[in-house]
Homo-oligomer: A and B are copies of this chain.
Amino acid sequence: MRELKKNIFRVLIIALVVLVSSCKEQANNVQAEEALQNGQEHPSLILTKKGVKAIRLQLGKLPIFDKSLAAVKAEIDAEITTGIDVPIPKDLSGGYTHEKHKKNFLVLQKAGVLFQILEDEKYAVYVRDMLMAYAKLYPTLPVHPQTRSYARGKLFWQCLNDSNWLVYTSQAYDCIYNWLKEEERATLENDLFIPFANFISEGNPQFFNRVHNHSTWGNVAVGMIALVMDNDELLQKALYGLKTDNLTEGMKDNDGGFIKVEGQKVGFLANVEEPFSPDGYYTEGPYYQRYAMYPFLIFAEALNNVKPELKIFEYKEGVLLKAVDALINLSDKDGEFFPLNDGQKGMSYYSRELVTAVDIAYHFGGNNPELLSIAQKQDRVLLDDAGLSVAMGIKEGKAMPFAKKSIEFRDGPNGDQGAVGILRQGDLELVFKYAAQGLSHGHYDKLSFSLYEDGYEVIQDYGLARFVNIEQKGGGNYLKENKTWAKQTIAHNTVTQNETSHFKGKYEIGSKHHSEKYIFSSDNDTVQVASAKELNAYPGTGLHRTMALIHDQDYDNPYILDVMKVTSKTANQYDVPFYYLGQLMQTNFEYQALKEPVPLGANNGYQHLYKEALGVAKEGNAKFNWLLNNKFYSITSVTSNGDELILARIGANDPEYNLRREPTFIIRKKNAKDVVFVSIIESHGNYSPVSEFAINAYSQIKNIEVVYDDANYTAIQIETEKGKKSLFVVSNTNNIKTENHKLTINNKDVVWSGPYCLKLLN
């Protein structure tokens, strides 16, 4: 029955197209001239009249622009041949109607642009006809039949996707605005755009009046269509939110995020203000920052063009432009974003959002030539003024390599809610997280880290438990394992106390706290240090982790010294996992494999780990050596008698195979109060399956030892296989750079200034 309806609908549309087209084209030129005499010119949001002229002049002269244009033209020409389908909404993401409406808005925006640049009316006709089909459908729609969302849309199962639609479609409308007849504009605005904007704002204050990436999309959607229609009432709502919303504090969305927070400003400007730190870090993490960047920047561009007096790119000291630099720095060697919090792996600066971000940041942010090299890698540009600017910069040979270096991004609106620190050297990248909760997409993983080499994960952050838009897996939405596994502390490379997650895994608690940054020092090639404290994850327990990237000239690669100091009022069990990827080669400790793996625990993520094998440590060092991508790695850890060394694997209680069956190595200290977990992680060798030579297959660390540890200082002695002994000392209470320290270790005085030192002992 539904199929039949759809088919009838299709026939109607085709009939409409044929009928209307034949009598209409002639009138359009006249009409366009009339429209020009109205107050606001069109296009004006992203494409501008002036920009379009400049683009037309450059056609055929700028390879990257021409290539981008040809790709878009080929795509849209194929779509026009396929015909228009505006199905009755039915599916979750991944399903047909969802994917079709998603495709429609992407196609509309591109067709609008082609009309402007190529001056071929077939594109305007196509945009008009599809918009008219939506104008016919929209008034008939109830809320979407799928009930999963706290804010159901009409075209899609959530207002978020409806907002996506409007952000793109507004641009298409802007492109054909002048070409349309006045009565056509009236139909579109009255039957489609205004009710659409009202529904996602007044109709869904719980969605629109928040500080959240959802609301950003909502605000921008309303703002974009307001700018096209020159509708100041809607624009005010977009910028400053709804004046009244009747929302009660404490309400939560279906991801568990707060909807209403006391004293919270709302609207687009508040959404710029709040989640971005002064360094341009977006508190949800880079995956969502990427997602949010598109509406932030596209609306900023539109505002800059239509309302230049707002000086949006200077807002909060240019934070929107800084955010683009931050995002690029939050990616690995291949441009893939570090999957902090709810991040899906594989998302990268090759995404369409980052093409937008890079081009806009280049054009409006002072023409940084390093951005051109990213645009070259993306190998496409926006078909607008910003894209033209990038294409010309590349043509003129201005591109310079984007130098990613060690960098710390502060979190929080004022930059005082912890940070994410990235230490880089050679092919190694260490990502250390000591930030705020990250709103509803945050994970409970204070002081966690991940390690990359050459763009590959070596010690992984699991990321989210979701297959975005893959319908087979929970409709492409968050899987229940995202809460039961991916967000839990034990899923991360940090300490878990007594098998409970940080802040008891409760968002209400976690969102009140953040870690404290303590040291970030990256000036010295021999030793770079990031250090931070977490005092609230477990009441009564203090966590202080110091990670150092140390480059001993005897060896090719630097190694990572990891010092996790735990002090507690009570005796506890502490687990520190290393989610290594690859195949275990050898350990220096004995372990017993279980005949049949059993879940490692019952709750808080432990129920998803299979315990595969157990070793019991002696006083000294435990070594764990593995192979990944034909590289040899080792973890060397200081152990005490009775520490448990657990080999485990993700996948227990995962009846639908929603989780990846990947391994971990866990160091467990039981019934302990104050402890220091000290490890060295090395990338020390490689293997060629072609020559079958194994080079430096073994750890280069002979011994590590905690030679001093009290409230004030922790000192580690490191001895390499070549016999070199070094001492690393960190001050636990004083991080002033100029402070002088003196400490007696094994009857020898050690003197230094600043919060840490690395000394050669022989």
| Interfacial residues, chain A to chain B (CB-CB below 8 A) | 94, 99, 344-348, 350-352, 467-473, 476, 583-586, 592-593, 595-599, 610, 613, 625, 627, 630, 647, 649, 652-655, 657, 660-661, 663, 687, 689-694, 697-698
Shortest distance in angstroms between A481's beta carbon and chain B's nearest beta carbon? 13
- Closest chain B residue to A347 by CB distance? B689
List of B residues within 8 angstroms of A625 by Cβ: 472
- Closest chain B residue to A659 by CB distance? B583
Q: Is the CB of B469 within 8 A of A694?
A: yes
List 5 contacting pairs A-B, 8 Å CB cutoff, sorted by A: A470-B694, A472-B625, A473-B586, A583-B660, A596-B596
Q: Name the prevailing secondary structure of the A interface residues.
A: loop
Interchain CB contact (< 8 A) of A472 among B347, B469, B586: B586
Q: Is the CB of A692 within 8 A of B469?
A: yes
Shortest distance in angstroms between A510's beta carbon and chain B's nearest beta carbon? 27
Q: Is the CB of B347 within 8 A of A694?
A: no
- Copies held by the complex: 2
Q: Is the CB of A596 within 8 A of B593?
A: no
List of B residues within 8 angstroms of A468 by Cβ: 689, 692
Q: Is the CB of B351 within 8 A of A690?
A: yes
Q: A473-B586, A661-B649, A689-B347 are in contact. Are A694 and B94 (CB under 8 A)?
A: yes
Q: Is the CB of A654 within 8 A of B585?
A: no
List of B residues within 8 angstroms of A348 by Cβ: 689-690
List of B residues within 8 angstroms of A694 by Cβ: 94, 99, 469-471, 476
- Closest chain B residue to A94 by CB distance? B694
- Report the separation of the CA atoms of residues A697 and B467 in the bound assembly, to the nearest whole angstrom: 12
List of B residues within 8 angstroms of A660 by Cβ: 583
For the complex of A and B, the 7 pairs showing the least CB-CB separation, nearest first, are A346-B689, A472-B586, A593-B655, A584-B657, A472-B585, A351-B690, A468-B692
Shortest distance in angstroms between A463's beta carbon and chain B's nearest beta carbon? 11
- Closest chain B residue to A653 by CB distance? B595
Q: Is the CB of A352 within 8 A of B469?
A: no
- Report the separation of the CA atoms of residues A34 and B733 in the bound assembly, to the nearest whole angstrom: 81
What would 11 more interface pairs be, CB under 8 Å, given A99-B694, A346-B690, A470-B627?
A: A99-B693, A347-B692, A351-B691, A470-B585, A472-B586, A472-B698, A593-B655, A595-B652, A596-B599, A597-B610, A649-B661
Q: Is the CB of A693 within 8 A of B469?
A: yes
Q: Is the CB of A473 within 8 A of B689?
A: no
- Report the separation of the CA atoms of residues A625 and B471 in the bound assembly, to the nearest whole angstrom: 12
Interchain CB contact (< 8 A) of A347 among B469, B596, B690, B697: B690
Q: Is the CB of B472 within 8 A of A350?
A: no
- Closest chain B residue to A291 by CB distance? B692
List of B residues within 8 angstroms of A663 by Cβ: 661
- Closest chain B residue to A335 by CB distance? B690
- Report the separation of the CA atoms of residues A470 and B345 in the bound assembly, to the nearest whole angstrom: 31
Q: Is the CB of A94 within 8 A of B697?
A: yes
List of B residues within 8 angstroms of A691 by Cβ: 351-352
Q: Is the CB of B472 within 8 A of A697?
A: yes
Interchain CB contact (< 8 A) of A687 among B470, B583, B689: B470
- Closest chain B residue to A103 by CB distance? B693
Interchain CB contact (< 8 A) of A597 among B596, B613, B693: B596
- Report the separation of the CA atoms of residues A704 and B597 in the bound assembly, to the nearest whole angstrom: 38
- Report the separation of the CA atoms of residues A605 and B381 in the bound assembly, to the nearest whole angstrom: 55
List of B residues within 8 angstroms of A649 by Cβ: 661
Q: Is the CB of B472 within 8 A of A654?
A: no
- Closest chain B residue to A687 by CB distance? B470
Q: Is the CB of A613 within 8 A of B473?
A: no
- Report the separation of the CA atoms of residues A470 and B472 in the bound assembly, to the nearest whole angstrom: 41
List of B residues within 8 angstroms of A94 by Cβ: 694, 697
Shortest distance in angstroms between A549's beta carbon and chain B's nearest beta carbon? 26
List of B residues within 8 angstroms of A586 by Cβ: 472-473
- Report the separation of the CA atoms of residues A595 and B649 in the bound assembly, to the nearest whole angstrom: 14
List of B residues within 8 angstroms of A657 by Cβ: 583-584, 647
List of B residues within 8 angstroms of A346 by Cβ: 630, 689-690
- Report the separation of the CA atoms of residues A352 and B660 in the bound assembly, to the nearest whole angstrom: 37
- Closest chain B residue to A102 by CB distance? B693
Shortest distance in angstroms between A95's beta carbon and chain B's nearest beta carbon? 10
Shortest distance in angstroms between A271's beta carbon and chain B's nearest beta carbon? 22
List of B residues within 8 angstroms of A350 by Cβ: 690
Shortest distance in angstroms between A722's beta carbon and chain B's nearest beta carbon? 15
With a 10 A CB-CB cut-off, give which of A473, A584, A627, A694 has the most chain B CB atoms: A694
Shortest distance in angstroms between A433's beta carbon and chain B's nearest beta carbon? 21
- Report the separation of the CA atoms of residues A472 and B583 in the bound assembly, to the nearest whole angstrom: 12
